[in-house]
Amino acid sequence: MLGGFASGLVLYWITNNLITVIQQYTIMTMHGHRPDLFGNIKSSVPVGRKKPDNK
């Protein structure tokens, strides 16, 4: 997926996104909101749930 880009660009993109996530987490924690980092991922993965029949 990222193989077509220059390695420096991929490194910059990953580093920048990581710093942004850490910064957002720190700011939200300082303002009294505990961010749920994996809440959306956990809620979208159907673990142990039965799929509804679409008949």
Average pLDDT over residues 24-30: 90
- Please report the pLDDT score of residue 16 as a whole number: 97
- What is the CB neighbour count within 10 angstroms for residue 35? 13
15: pLDDT strictly greater than 90: yes
What does pLDDT average to over the chain? Answer: 83
Tell me how far the alpha carbon of residue 2 is from its chain's centroid.
Answer: 17
- Please report the pLDDT score of residue 44 as a whole number: 81
Per the model's pLDDT, the better-predicted residue between 51 and 10 turns out to be 10
Q: pTM (2 decimals)?
A: 0.61
Per the model's pLDDT, the better-predicted residue between 50 and 9 turns out to be 9
Distance CA 10, CA 30 (A): 30
